Amino acid sequence: MEEIQKKYPRFLLTAGASGSGKTLITCGLLQALKNRGLTAASFKCGPDYIDPMFHEKVLKTKARNLDTFFTGEEMTRYLFAKNAAGADISVMEGVMGYYDGLGGISDTASAYDLARVTGTPAVLIVNTRGMSLSVLAYIKGFLEYRRDSRICGVILNQMSAGLYPEISSRIEAELGVRVYGYVPKVTDCLIESRHLGLVLPDEVERLEEKLQKLARVLEESLDIEGLLKLAEAAGPLPGGKLQYSGNVQLSGNFPGNSATIAVARDEAFCFIYEDNLQLLRECGARIVEFSPIHDRHIPAEADGLLLYGGYPELYSRELSANTTMLADVRGKIAGGMPCMAECGGFMYLHRTMEDMEKRKWRMAGVIDAEAYRTEKLTRFGYVELEAADALEKIRGHEFHYFDSTDNGEGFLARKPLRKRSWRCMHRTDTLLAGFPHLYYYSNPKLAEEFVKKCAGYHAGRNLEDPGAVQGK
């Protein structure tokens, strides 16, 4: 059992809607804090993968997700405290609009919910394009929609320097909320988007140069000292001494006393919750990475395989051309190597996969089905997966413009707060594959059981070859 009672300086950047500039301002502010010599921890509210990648480009360390649907209140506070330990300040980036949560009809799992659960002061980023005095009415609505809104400040985005003094003074006088500055229009620092959201950081030309320029702008236009004081004023995490023991015992005593899990990570496969990997390590696993695009084989020491999501549809030609890797993946899984695959990784295991132009490409052929392009998001949003065994419920998220001719029958997926449900996931003793992105801390037993299977595979390999040595 771990006890957490420390104070963590922190604030949350939120907005009234997507497209208001949250990610850009968060990254610019993180860069400014880093330039000041501060050690910052960053967090993204909700299930998004791409925004944390931009945080990581600034901080050169892994960002984390915090999601109250995935992990509830106690576990969310635990994960925040665990990952914020040692940082001078923690910055959380909200999701969508401040109160937008489950199913679009609840504030559960919203940025507001995260601020409430973690006792974090929120700063509302307001995109003022096309507004002047009406900005006050807009802000007032967010302040008053919930009596405990936790909104302690405002940043005015796309505001002119000439108009700012008058509008900010009216906001503070009439609404009683602090204005922490403005952000002028910075067209040369914008980040492009595509079908799953923002492009990846490595695809943005001169990204670090742009972030440094933005940081210099924010140093001039934002009250960063005021934001630091706001973070320092954040009280202890709610509940006093936070304790979490988990719903399973993670002993680390596994057959063979070792398991190495190969994780696909490259241009095509990059949607990875870092806390998922950390939980696997806590279960006794060693993580190694490989590229289904550039490498010819799965790492020789691998006892298990993880294929996460990403953009395989943009690299269909390269993935299909790497026939040696495809054969190795097919052969290892057929030979009993445990594998979990989700979304893009699930598509990679199909017999064929369409690209964005609906051209078919041969893939690994582990699943005798076709992955095909759709015209709109398919089964978008949070899901709760139910199975009639010890795994019980697992929570995840779907976000894809593709579907499969065979989605599997291993789980019943339910939409929270909705009546919709469907069967999904291919599930055998050694394979779990489907479109849902799974968050392991929603049921740590999933990670523990997977590591045990990998350790068992490792022990079996050593029985077949007594001279085998881990890592060779």
Model pLDDT for residues 304-342, shown as the tens digit of each residue: 999 999 999 999 999 999 999 999 999 999 999 999 999
Q: How far apart are CA 22 and CA 26, in angstroms?
A: 6
Query: Domain coordinates of the chain in residue numbers?
Result: 2-243, 255-464
pLDDT in the model for residue 388 = 66
The residue ranges of DSSP E strands in 197-297, in sequence order, are 197-198, 242-244, 259-264, 269-271, 285-290
Does the global pTM surpass 0.85?
A: yes
Pairing of strands 421-424, 426-427: unpaired
Q: Could you read off the pLDDT of 119-130 as tens digits, one per residue?
A: 999 999 999 999
Q: How far apart are CA 128 and CA 138, in angstroms?
A: 10
User: Coil, helix or strand for 421?
Assistant: strand
Q: How far apart are CA 328 and CA 377, in angstroms?
A: 32
Percent of the chain whose pLDDT exceeds 90: 74
CA nearest neighbour of 112 among 102, 101, 104, 127: 101
Q: Which residues contact 29 (CB under 8 A, 6 or more apart)?
A: 13, 91, 215, 218, 222, 224, 227
Binned at pLDDT 50, 70 and 90, residue 297 comes out as very high
Mean pLDDT across the chain, nearest whole number?
89
pLDDT in the model for residue 302 = 97
**DSSP characters over 275-339:** HHHHHHHHTTEEEEEE-TTT-SS--TT-SEEEE-EE-GGGGHHHHHH-HHHHHHHHHHHHTT--E
Is pLDDT of 30 > 80?
yes
- Strand pairing partners for 354? 360
Cβ proximity of 234 and 120 under 8 Å: yes
Sheet holding 178-183, edge to edge: 64-66, 40-45, 89-93, 10-15, 122-127, 151-157, 178-183
Q: How far apart are CA 187 and CA 206, in angstroms?
A: 14
What are 205's two structure tokens?
Answer: 């030309």
CATH number of 255-464: 3.40.50.880
Q: How far apart are CA 425 and CA 346, in angstroms?
A: 9
CATH of 2-243, one of 3.40.50.300, 3.90.1150.10, 3.30.360.10, 3.30.70.20: 3.40.50.300
Cβ proximity of 404 and 371 under 8 Å: yes
Q: Could you read off the pLDDT of 253-287 as tens digits, one per residue?
A: 444 457 999 999 999 999 999 999 999 999 999 99
Q: Could you read off the pLDDT of 194-222 as tens digits, one per residue?
A: 444 556 666 666 778 888 999 999 999 99
- Residues marked as catalytic: 343
Q: Which residues contact 158 (CB under 8 A, 6 or more apart)?
A: 21, 127, 128, 129, 183, 184, 185
Binned at pLDDT 50, 70 and 90, residue 465 comes out as low
Place of tokens 């001078």: 88
pLDDT in the model for residue 311 = 93
pLDDT in the model for residue 472 = 33
pLDDT in the model for residue 126 = 97
pLDDT in the model for residue 239 = 66
**Least confident range of 25-34, 49-58, 360-369, 447-456:** 49-58
Decide whether 2-243 matches 255-464 in CATH topology. Answer: yes
